Amino acid sequence: MSQDGQPTTRPASNFRWVICALLFFSVVVNYLHRLTIGILKAPLSEELGWSETDYGYIAAGFSFAYAFGYLFGGRLMDRLGVSRGLPIFVSIWSLAAMAHGLCGLIGVNEQFRMTYPAFSWAEESVVWATLTIPMTVAGFVTARIVLGLAQGCNFPAAIKTVAEWFPVKERALATGWFNTGSNVGAIVCPIAVPWIFSLVGWEMTFYMTGALGFLWVVAWWRIYDAPENCPRVSPSELEYIRDGQPIEEEAAPSRPWVSLLGHRAVWAYVLASILAGPAWGFYQFFIPDFLQKNFHLELEQTGFWTAVFFAIAMGGGVVGGWLAQKLLDRGLSINLARKTTLLICAIAVVPVFLAPFVASVWMAVLIVGVAGSAHQGWSANLFSVVSDTMPKDAISSVVGLGGFVSYFTGGFVNGFTGYILETTGSYVYVFAYFSGMYLLSLLAIQILVPRIGGGASQ
């Protein structure tokens, strides 16, 4: 054992990385299902008559639902355990992904009208307003809501799995590796989806991509078990995992959400999630549209450059996790290693405000890709801050809480982005907003958690 309590010898087996690979493929499927609509935005809008605001409603519907899915999914993972809970939710979101194709049965000219009360400050009275959108938009919003609710459990479950299967020094690296699945899915999606769309149309595209989730469920059922029950884990690997985890008191059967708010680390994570978290949702749903509009690209070109963006972004999570581990290996404290890595990532995002002003598509993709890569490195270490500071039985709940506020905020950001595009046609304000949010987030973390250490943090 080293002085900081970390294991110094390598185990005889490395089955924990097989589990990491399973998490990686769950994220690949997650993002493939999530991003298909962004790639098909242009042809769907043309065929179904959507406006920019209509698409903003669809993107916002997913973000709001994903927020609640994160919140309650994390809670359910702490109660059910990842062995049972994760495959259930993957099955649900795969069905929801396939259900997008059913919207092809809805007539293009059919309208959905919702009457709701709105308060008029000018008249200081309750007035009635009517929202009218195409029925196809209402259908997609419904499918996106179910998709978001189910997909929200994926990352809380993955972070909980990493905390159970990996010692502290490897957690950011493992998180970075499985989180590259978001980029791999985002690279595969813009390359494969236009090709599938050209062959079978958009309805079958959703059916075919949605069905892939069930293949992952079968693999999970055949491979996964808890480390202490898994026959493929050697005694030395189990000791390596256990010795490298913080010693904590036996947890209560259930921790009320209110009790979590007594931890300063929770507030730090929540504030960082509100400020910087919505950036990744913006990249997912609007980068293809940004590239197509700014550089007048065809669908295949848009797909190619979107794939390049996610390819650049892919390495950030691994590099961020690797850097934190190397800093720990060199004797830096967990506090200094995490915050140094977060600072580097925050600085790398700042130039993203230049993206709308450059003249060439490759330069814009490079600038935004570096920001996306930095976001991935930021996320890998921010997730690990939770496992560094919170009891194991509360990790999924805290990650779920942070995801909730991130995507709930992101719902407003996506909706407001649609409004900005409708009125100005420019992405300048949105990129400028995100360029400084990571540094502001890190300041909040430093104020609330001056020192990150092992175990629970008050």
Reported as a single tens digit per residue, the pLDDT across 385-398 is 887 777 777 776 78
Residue 125 in this model has a pLDDT that exceeds 80: no
Give the DSSP letter of residue 201: H
Residue 362 in this model has a pLDDT that exceeds 70: yes
In a domain, 77, yes or no: yes
Find the mean pLDDT for residues 254-266: 73
- Sign of the four-CA dihedral 201, 204, 208, 209: positive
C-alpha span between 220 and 154 (Å, rounded): 13
Nearest to 62 by CA among 90, 100, 25: 100
pLDDT at residue 134, as a whole number: 67
C-alpha span between 299 and 145 (Å, rounded): 26
pLDDT at residue 239, as a whole number: 82
Find the mean pLDDT for residues 222-235: 81
**In this structure, what token pair is assigned to residue 377?**
């490195």
What SS3 class is residue 130?
A: strand
CATH of the domain at 134: 1.20.1250.20
Q: Where are the alpha helices (DSSP H) in 119-232?
A: 135-151, 154-165, 168-223
Which pLDDT band holds residue 278 (cuts at 50, 70, 90)? Answer: confident
pLDDT at residue 245, as a whole number: 61
Length of the chain in residues, anyone?
458
Nearest to 386 by CA among 445, 323, 299: 445
pLDDT at residue 443, as a whole number: 94
In a domain, 4, yes or no: no
The separation between the first and the last C-alpha atoms of the chain, rounded to the nearest angstrom, is 27
Residue 428 in this model has a pLDDT that exceeds 60: yes
127-134: long-range pairs with CB below 8 Å, 24+: 133/54, 133/57, 134/48, 134/49, 134/50, 134/54, 134/108, 134/109, 134/110
Nearest to 160 by CA among 334, 455, 384, 376: 384
C-alpha span between 2 and 8 (Å, rounded): 6
Total domain count, the chain:
1
Residues spanned by the domain of 47: 16-448
The mean pLDDT of the chain is 81
Find the mean pLDDT for residues 404-415: 80
Backbone angles phi, psi at 427, to 5 degrees: -95, 5
Which pLDDT band holds residue 128 (cuts at 50, 70, 90)? Answer: very low
In a domain, 288, yes or no: yes
Tell the residue number behind the tokens 């202490």, with chain if given.
Answer: 228
Q: Identify the top-confidence range among 108-117, 385-394, 417-426, 443-452.
A: 443-452
Q: Measure CA 108 to chain center.
A: 32
- Report whether 406 contacts 237 (CB < 8 A): no
Secondary structure (H, E, C), 81-145: CHHHHHHHHHHHHHHHHHHHHHHHHCCCCCEEEEEEEEEECCCCEEEEEEEEEEHHHHHHHHHHH
In a domain, 3, yes or no: no
Q: How confident is the model over 12-36, as pLDDT tens digits?
A: 578 888 899 999 999 999 989 988 8
Find the mean pLDDT for residues 325-334: 83
**In this structure, what token pair is assigned to residue 423?**
């009125």
**In this structure, what token pair is assigned to residue 378?**
């930021």
The share of the chain scoring above pLDDT 70, in percent, equals: 86
C-alpha span between 142 and 92 (Å, rounded): 14
Nearest to 367 by CA among 354, 384, 385: 354
In a domain, 311, yes or no: yes
**In this structure, what token pair is assigned to residue 297?**
């690209």
- Report whether 385 contacts 265 (CB < 8 A): yes
| 420-45-292-67 Cα dihedral, nearest 10 degrees | 60
Nearest to 185 by CA among 164, 204, 202, 209: 209
In a domain, 1, yes or no: no
